[in-house]
A and B are shown apart, each in its own frame.
Chain A
């Protein structure tokens, strides 16, 4: 069965610090997709990135980077030089092909970035 674990409930950092949000997943499928979503204090859910199971290349987008390692079933998210606007709840999610892209979320990590 699908499962996503985000062990960090809350993280607090000072602006300009780097921070890594951990995500560990479980799946029996060989074809699956991993996602990160952001939920700022305003409450909407914003898509950040998608990665498929056959592409283990790390990705960088500005201050954001993602590290996908199938060997450890992890898909970690790093924010470099954090800013106050990064304060939000971040969700990792897993979507399996056989489930018709049924998407299961982790419990989320709340990030506080202090000025």
Chain B
């Protein structure tokens, strides 16, 4: 199994540009989420979804959009990139109804905004 796949792994943007980070999982997980990791800040939740068609905001949602049209995919959109969005982004998924809640992570996407 591929698990959780994120693309691209690296991206450089200019301020004001838009882009989409892709995330796909092949484990039929209901729950998917996006985190950003910054030095000293740990992993902060951006948006999450508990199933297709359902999304909600996390701790730091401003400047990001998400949608969940299928169980497998959960793209993260940066509408107008800012230097403050320079970070490493992780997509994660888990079983929801099983009660486990353990997160399976992608390999991360390093984004630099100039």
A: residues with CB less than 8 A from B are 6, 9, 33, 35, 37, 43-45, 47, 50, 52, 91, 93, 95, 100-108
Contacts and interface: CB of A to CB of B under 8 A. Distances in A.
A111 to B, nearest CB: 15
Contacts of B90: 45
Interface string B89-108: 01010101001111111011
Given A9-B40, A45-B90, A50-B100, A104 B105 contact: no
6 contacts: A43-B108, A91-B42, A100-B96, A101-B31, A104-B45, A108-B42
A95 B59 CA distance: 14
Contacts, number: 64
Contact of B45 (A44, A45, A103, A108): A103
Interface residues of B, number: 28
B81 interface: no
Contacts of B44: 105
Given A43-B107, A100-B31, A101-B94, A33 B101 contact: yes
Contacts of A108: 42-43
A35 B104 CA distance: 12
Contacts of A91: 42-43
A52 B104 CA distance: 18
Contact of B33 (A9, A47, A103): A103
A5 B101 CA distance: 20
Given A100-B31, A100-B48, A47 B42 contact: no
Most A CB contacts (10 A, CB to CB) among B31, B42, B94 go to B42
Q: Give the interface SS of chain B, mostly helix, strand, loop or mixed.
A: strand
B107 A44 contact: yes
Given A45-B105, A50-B100, A95-B101, A102 B58 contact: yes
Interface in B64-110: 88, 90, 92, 94, 96, 99-105, 107-108
A115 B40 CA distance: 25
Contact of B102 (A43, A44, A50, A102): A50
Nearest 6 pairs between A and B by C-beta? Answer: A107-B42, A105-B43, A100-B50, A45-B105, A101-B101, A95-B101
